[in-house]
Amino acid sequence: MAAKIRFFSLTLILLNLFSFKLASAFELECGVYEIIGRYDSENQILWVYESTNARMPLSLFGKATLTGFLPGSTNHYRVKVAVNKKIPNRGGSAKLLEVIGIAQYHPKELQFKKLSAAHCR
């Protein structure tokens, strides 16, 4: 019985740690990132982790926003962006450097990867 309680407690601790990691994963430091999200061409917003409680709107600017996306708001894209200052989980803006292509969205997988610390002020 004690082993079951320890296993259950350990499971709860691991779930809490995973939830904290996922929730805190939305704060982006300055740098260059590869991000997956659903792009809304009308509002020029990339929605990261859109189907979770901690979804983050990322307003994109730059020349690549004019030609890099299909019209509409149903496609998910893999993009390369430059973040000039820290973006909190409530959202912010980033310069679109490149649209890499259409991507598959998996909400349980990490939706961004830091490529470099360039573009930091």
Phi and psi of 95, rounded to 5°? -85, 125
| pLDDT score at 4 | 53
Confidence of residue 18 (pLDDT cuts 50, 70, 90): very low
| 8-state DSSP, 29 | P
Task: Please check the confidence at residue 121 and state whether its pLDDT lies above 80.
Answer: no
Confidence of residue 58 (pLDDT cuts 50, 70, 90): very high
Q: How far apart are CA 86 and CA 121, in angstroms?
A: 10
| pLDDT score at 1 | 58
Contact in structure between 68 and 74 (CB atoms under 8 Å): no
Contacts of 57 (CB under 8 A, 6+ apart): 45, 46, 47, 48, 91
- Token pair for 104: 């598959």
| pLDDT score at 3 | 59
Task: Render pLDDT for 59-88 as a digit per residue (tens, 0 to 9).
Answer: 999 988 888 888 878 889 999 999 998 888
Contact in structure between 119 and 30 (CB atoms under 8 Å): yes
Provide the percentage of residues in the chain whose pLDDT is more than 70: 76
| pLDDT score at 17 | 42
pTM: 0.72
Options 3.30.70, 2.40.50, 3.40.50, 3.20.20; CATH of 27-116: 2.40.50
Task: Please check the confidence at residue 113 and state whether its pLDDT lies above 60.
Answer: yes
